[in-house]
Amino acid sequence: MSEDEQSGFLAKVIGPKKRWRAYKARVKELPESRRAAVEAIERYLMHFVPTDGDSNASMFEDLADLFEQAAADGTPMREIVGEDPVEFADAFAQNYAEGGYVPARAKKQLTEALARAEEAEVTAGDTAGDTAGGTAGGTAGGTAGGTA
């Protein structure tokens, strides 16, 4: 069975493994605070029911596109997600999913994770400092610091 075949539970939920791995590699290249924000939104979006694996893969790829472009432009995170990250994630997911139940705990975790990421962004200067060097600024952080 090839990696591009949509079989098994993971492929049905997140799409082909190859696309998922490419998405994760892109996220890993983001500046650390942006990566933390994307990973928090990703965890939250897992509560939604995708219309199919391709839609779900597209959703995560579009999320990476959004944060890559914002990092390149030096756009602060709050300009991307607004004051309410839960509202942002819900609206974002509506374009790709049929719906889902998101526990209050997950909403709280997303809000807290984005607040920490924003604080890290301000402290590290990720909005402008890391974008001058392209993705190099994102890899300098590498695996330091967890986001779970």
pLDDT, one tens digit per residue, over 32-66 is 999 999 999 999 998 886 767 778 888 999 999 99
Model confidence pTM above 0.85 = no
pLDDT range class, residue 139, cuts 50, 70, 90: very low
Q: How far apart are CA 90 and CA 68, in angstroms?
A: 20
* Predicted local confidence at residue 143, as pLDDT: 34
H helix runs in the chain, sequence order: 8-14, 17-28, 32-45, 53-73, 77-81, 85-94, 104-124, 136-141
Look over the chain and give the mean of its residue pLDDT values, rounded to a whole number.
78
CB 35 within 8 A of CB 141: yes
Fold of 9-123: c-terminal domain of poly(a) binding protein (1.10.1900)
- Identify the helix (H) or strand (E) that includes residue 100: strand 97-100
Domain locations in the chain as residue ranges: 9-123
pLDDT in tens, 57-78: 889 999 999 999 999 999 999 9
Give the pLDDT band (50/70/90) at residue 148.
very low
Integer Cα distance of 123 and 84 in angstroms: 21
pLDDT of 65-114, one tens digit each?
Answer: 999 999 999 999 999 999 999 999 999 998 887 777 788 899 999 999 99
pLDDT at residue 17, rounded to an integer: 83
Q: Which residue has the higher pLDDT, 126 or 47?
A: 47
